[in-house]
Amino acid sequence: GDSVTQMEGPVTLSEEAFLTINCTYTATGYPSLFWYVQYPGEGLQLLLKATKADDKGSNKGFEATYRKETTSFHLEKGSVQVSDSAVYFCALRGTNAGKSTFGDGTTLTVKP
Amino acid sequence: EAGVVQSPRYKIIEKKQPVAFWCNPISGHNTLYWYLQNLGQGPELLIRYENEEAVDDSQLPKDRFSAERLKGVDSTLKIQPAELGDSAVYLCASSFSADTQYFGPGTRLTVL
């Protein structure tokens, strides 16, 4: 079945540092890929998405590129802020439209 | 536009008691999802509705869990009887068909 593997956390960075959170996936066909962010006490919010190979999703300074050859969708941000502290989830929606599979999340803490 | 509404936000019950969670999706969203999120893990799908029809309930423990979505709008998820291992966050999400899912804040259940 489909699966998503994320870089284990927690990740602690200083403000303005570069962020990478690795995500790889296993799926049949051509899934859509997503990054969600979850702030304390809140539900998941869509951060960005990509629906086909080589697509780049971007939002709020975060970027991720759909790499089919390496089955990856790594999240990056050039300069993190304290307000980016949250849990980040990588997810895919497979060819069974509507069924999503999530990674276990990576906790990011940004210190001033 | 109002987001996905869930209630209650928190619930503490004794084991073997029944409990119910309510979800009101975003207006116009025909697809509704219930997810279970254990601490430190990503959401896992329990059930997915397309309008009033449950199209994927393969992960719903049917001996104690039940769900309904009357009239294809609001939905209720019930557990009876609750067990200690049911302590988790129950997330509701909605989407228009297989488009982006929008999540509610979740209900945190504690079973004592």
HEC letters along chain B: CCCCEEECCEEEECCCCCEEEEEECCCCCCEEEEEEECCCCCCEEEEEEECCEEEECCCCCCCCEEEECHHHCCEEEEECCCCHHHCEEEEEEEECCCCCCEECCCEEEEEC
Share of chain A above pLDDT 90, in %: 82
Question: Is 90 exceeded by the pLDDT of residue A96?
Answer: no
B19 or B100, higher pLDDT: B19
A contacts of B102 (beta carbons < 8 Å) = 46
Q: Which of A41, A45, A98 sits opposite B98 (nearest CB)?
A: A98
Q: Which residues fall within 8 angstroms of residue A73, CB to CB, at 6 or more apart?
A: A23, A24, A25, A33, A35, A50, A64, A65, A66, A67, A90
| Mean pLDDT estimate for chain A | 93
What value does the mean pLDDT take over residues B48-60? 91
pLDDT of residue B90: 97
**CB within 8 Å: A102 and B43:** yes
* Cβ–Cβ contact B96 with A under 8 A: no
Assess whether pLDDT exceeds 90 at residue A41: no
| In contact, A4 and A23? CB cutoff 8 Å | yes
How high is the pLDDT of residue A94?
81
Average pLDDT over residues B64-85: 94
* CA separation for the pair B61, B69 (Å, rounded): 17
Written as one letter, the residue type at A109 is T
Check residue B107 and give its pLDDT. Answer: 96
The DSSP code for A15 is T
How does strand A44-50 pair with strand A32-38?
antiparallel
Mean pLDDT of B17-31: 96
pLDDT of amino acid A98: 62
**What pLDDT score does B85 carry?**
95
Minimal-distance CA residue of chain B relative to A97: B98
The torsion angles phi and psi of B72, rounded to 5 degrees, stand at: 70, 20
Q: Note the pLDDT of residue A97.
A: 59
Amino acid B88: pLDDT: 96
Tell me whether A85 touches chain B (CB under 8 Å): no
* Cβ-nearest to B42 among A49, A93, A102: A102
In this prediction, residue B1 has a pLDDT band, given cuts at 50, 70 and 90, of low
* Inter-chain touch B105–A41, beta carbons under 8 Å: yes
